[in-house]
Structure formats: structure tokens, C-alpha cells
Amino acid sequence: MSKHQVTITVNGQAYTREIESRLLLVHFIREELSLTGTHIGCDTTSCGACTVLLDGAAVKSCTVFAVTANGKQVETIEGVAQNGQMHPLQEGFWEKHGLQCGYCTPGMIMSAKHLLSKNPNPTEAEIRQGISGNLCRCTGYNKIVEAVQYAAEKLNADAREEIAS
């Protein structure tokens, strides 16, 4: 059996583990670290429920080997809120009713976070395109789009405030 020592930084904390080469990143996150906010949906690279950020880019963690993430930075839904304060994206999903069953939500938020990091002022079409790798079977997407728009406005307002002060 091929075992490898890896150090993967998840939500700012470095974790060193001895793992099998075939361990998928999503299983590393959920089973080794007990961070179960990252969901497993389709298990076939289709649904995006397992989306996390790998060195800042949204990836489907069911389709990345954990060994590939050795030495890299991973961010999961658990790392999104800071100091007990919800991130504007989380607030947006709350305010705009961007979820019903909630299963796709962590993946949606991670995809949207990557989108807003590259494009702070996305059009509605760009948002829809940005989350097109994430499936939601409840909302029909409209409320999710509104949630991301809410977050973009909030983040831009916060940025303006920071510049003003």
C-alpha cells in the first residue's frame, strides 16, 4: 500500500497526516479532519456539492487526490466566517433565502467566493455562469443569484468604507 505523509493547510491550520495515495481530498476533509460542511453529492464531478478552494481556486474535492493538495492551502465552508461573523455570502444566502434543503449551499458559497475574488462586480449572467458547475435541485437558482448579488454589493460597500476611513 502506498502511504504518504502530507501537510495540508485547511482554513489556516496545517494538518500533517499519513494517508493512502488513493484518498480523495473530500474524504481527507470530512473523515481525517471531521469537517463535514463539505458535502458529497453525486460523487462523479457533476454536482459541485464538494467544492472547496485549493490555493484560492474552486475545485471539486471528490476529483482531487489529497496527496495532490500536499503543501497547498485549502479553504472549506468552515473557514468562511471570520471571528464569529458571517461572511457577506453567508449573510446573503440567509437574507435572500438562497437555500431550501441546504445540501448544495457550501459548494455554492465556495464557488461564489472564488467568482467574487476574480470579479467583484459580476453581472447576473456572470453569476449564473460562475455557479454553473454547482447543481441546486430546490431553489431554481434565482434566490442563489440574488444572494451572490447581495454579497457583491456588501463586499464592495465594505471596501469603499475601508478606503474612506
x-or-dash string of contact with another protein, 75-114, rule CB under 8 A: ------------------------------------x--x
**Residue 112 identity:** A
116 lines the binding site for another protein (CB under 8 A): no
Please list, in sequence order, all residues whose beta carbon lies within 8 angstroms of the beta carbon of residue 138, skipping any fewer than 6 positions away.
99, 100, 101, 104
Grid coordinates of 59: 475545485
d(CA 54, CA 69): 7
68 lines the binding site for another protein (CB under 8 A): yes
| DSSP class of 30 | I
Closer residue to another protein (CB): 24 or 80: 24
39 lines the binding site for another protein (CB under 8 A): no
For another protein, which stretch binds (CB under 8 A), given 7-15, 44-52, 83-91, 142-150?
44-52
